[in-house]
Amino acid sequence: MVPALDGDWAGAHGVTASGAVLVRPDGIVAWCSASEGGPGTVEQALRAVLDR
């Protein structure tokens, strides 16, 4: 279920404006980071989610 958004997308997903959310095609949150990570953070998350 997608939450109703009032313009605060980051707050609705529990991240800051510099954070990130990785959502599967079925709408399930696979990974999120509340704030900006270091280099390679998203790549590491994708590898973990994809088990590679």
The type of residue at 3 is P
* Helix spans in 1-51 (H): 9-12, 41-50
Name the pTM for this structure.
Answer: 0.62
Domain residue ranges in the chain: 14-50
Strand, coil or helix: what is 36? coil
- Quick: pLDDT tens for 1-52: 555 556 677 777 778 878 888 888 898 888 888 887 778 888 888 888 888 6
